[in-house]
Amino acid sequence: ELQSRGDLEIPPCSGTGYTPAAMTVLAGSAGFPAYSTPASSDCPKHLSVTVEDFEVVCRGLYRALCIREKNMQQSLQRFPKTPSQYLRTIEGETWKPSDVGPVFTPPVKDGQDPFDTGNLPEDLGYHVQMKDGVVYVYADKAAAERNEPKDLPYPSLEHFIDDMNFLLVLIAQGPVKTYSHRRLKFLSSKFQVHEMLNELDEMKELKNNPHRDFYNCRKVDTHIHAAACMNQKHLLRFIKKSYLVDANRVVYDAKGKQLTLKQLFQQLKLQPYDLTVDSLDVHAGRQTFQRFDKFNDKYNPVGASELRDLYLKTENAINGEYFATIIKEVGSDLEDAKYQHTEPRLSIYGRSPEEWAKLAKWFNTHRVYSPNMKWMIQVPRIYDVFRSKNFLPHFGKMLEYIFVPVFEATVNPQAHKELSVFLRHITGFDSVDDESKHSGHMFSTKSPKPEEWTSQKNPSYTYYIYYMYANILVLNNLRRQRGMNTFLFRPHCGEAGAITHLLAAFMTADNISHGLNLKKSPVLQYLYFLAQIPIAMSPLSNNSLFLEYAKNPLLDFHQKGLMVSLSTDDPMQFHYTKEPLMEEYAIAAQVFKLSTCDMCEIARNSILQCGMSHEEKVKFLGQNYQEDGPDGNDIRKTNVAQIRVAYRYETWCYELNLIAEGLKNE
């Protein structure tokens, strides 16, 4: 049962009992208003906006947070308690704990089969049908014809566009920009003061914490692609091993001609025994910087798409057996290492209606399961490619292929047994592709509906994101009704391209991957801080593609208190060692001089961000992990100093409180 403290009033701004030295200094005599009660007439002075502007700013930020809160709650995603409490205070309302949120599949128990198809719920007999790019659920076909969908929350495009337009104005508004910029600068400096004053005390807490250190606190690789989840050396070894065992096995279908592994390599003029990491050529190098296209080619071992098909795909002449085996080896290594988990993404393209069934079959047939892995579905934004090859008549069809099968399996699980099992192990959706490509399209109420989007041009990022979100919203509510697990929306966002991407994700996504471009928008950065939106950052990946390591904003974000985790993205392309996630942490620790407390805080963030079940989170973070602030931290499990968590919490409350103060006279 979820633990909650429903009767909590607005969080105290001091007196958590952990108030470290820095707080005293910051709250007391340092020349700006006392900690918990800035007199509203004083505020603007140190905030460098006028009294009038300050109210405008606070109103804007307030509404932005309300938009996100509403969207998260409707789609059964997460919005933290603390800002909700402040929003209710501003409204003069009493905060009540929300009873909606994501549903995760409980962990597989000992003796239980993760692929068990018993106890699948009955067929509801509902009819599902897409309308304007969103799947609707009807009691039956007749109800669909009458346009009488079942009573589920459906998204409103008009409201979404309204909200979006409001936010587009907000992030460009002078005073809001100034205010956000100043607050972020303040957060930076404040952390530095905190560090100087409390670093040794934090370390002392950790030293006195028995059993637990950075090595045995749990950490999740929050962003990783299944097709690149092994490192280059592992893939090389696997290819050589497969040749030793399977040389004479038919493994490839070259347009109807069956080839054995030996024949395939002969055709490619390759001798597996001679292969090296160099000739395999899957590692990103200086050539891939700012070249997402070249990076994508790195998925082809030895530059041969045949080998990608054979080793890194779920659909091929051997039914994806090699790929499944490699992934299971990665899983088994993780289980051996014990404290590391990973959330690999598998692709659904929306190119044909059978994709889900095939992927589910692969998953079930090869029993691709590890307790240290949680699965996600990534949808590449490549409608334009499929349309130009005439695989799809319009964008709506792509959405249909992506979502309708999932709705059908949700309505009638017994008719889609493998898919139902597979969906039980899926925790979220990702949206992926090169963000630096510009679509030229601007999402508005006048944009063509997905069924009308017949042009060869790709829709904009926001358009994609909205329709992913809209369908997940309906789907999650349906699945919750059925007692099934729901899905988080966790798109790639802000790796490159326009800052509107980050705005779209602010409105729709539980959490994101990358977030680099928050650098470019103080308002969005401040909003991501206020809403504590988790960001899975991959500085080694960025270093090979978009941004040099030392310039990565990870450290800056972390210091300001944005909720960042570390992830590998693509160990095959970026990492050198057998433990890519540890490599990612080690390099960040070295280059950014992170303390153990920093590293453990980031590890804790990764568990909070990920799609693990409630039971697992309790096990890895402690009973009260859902509480904000020090009450939610169990140092015995997380190895994060209470001083740190108290600092974060009080800092967060201080910022939220400023907004509440700014709106007190309204």
Of the pair 38, 580, the CB lying nearest a second copy is at 580
Continuous segment of H or E residues that includes residue 432: strand 426-432
* Cα gap 195→561, rounded to integer Å: 13
Binding site for a second copy (CB under 8 A): 199, 203, 206-216, 233, 271, 273-279, 281, 283, 285-286, 540, 543, 549-550, 575-579, 582-583, 585-587, 589-591, 593, 595-596, 639
What is the DSSP annotation of 296-348?
HHTTSGGG-HHHHHHHH-SSSTTTTHHHHHHHHHHHHHHHHH-SEEEEEEEE-
Q: Cβ of 211: how many Cβ atoms within 10 Å?
A: 8
345 contacts 432 by C-beta, under 8 angstroms: yes
Q: How far is CA 613 from the centre of its chain?
A: 15
Q: Rounded to an integer, what distance in angstroms lies between the CA atom of residue 247 and that of residue 126?
A: 49
Q: CB count, 10 Å around CB of 583? A: 18
What Rg value do the Cα atoms of the chain yield, rounded?
A: 25
Q: How many CB atoms lie within 10 A of CB 457?
A: 15
Taking residue 626's Cβ as centre, other Cβ atoms within 10 Å add up to 21
> Which residues are catalytic, by number?
514
Pairing mode, if any, of strands 250-254 and 257-260? antiparallel
**H-only helix segments in 389-521:** 395-411, 417-425, 461-481, 500-508
φ, ψ of residue 584 to 5 degrees: the values are: -60, -45
DSSP 3-state of 427: strand
Rounded (10°) angle between helices 596-609 and 614-621: 170
Strands (DSSP E) along 108-262, which ranges?
127-131, 134-138, 219-225, 250-254, 257-260
3-state secondary structure of 489: strand
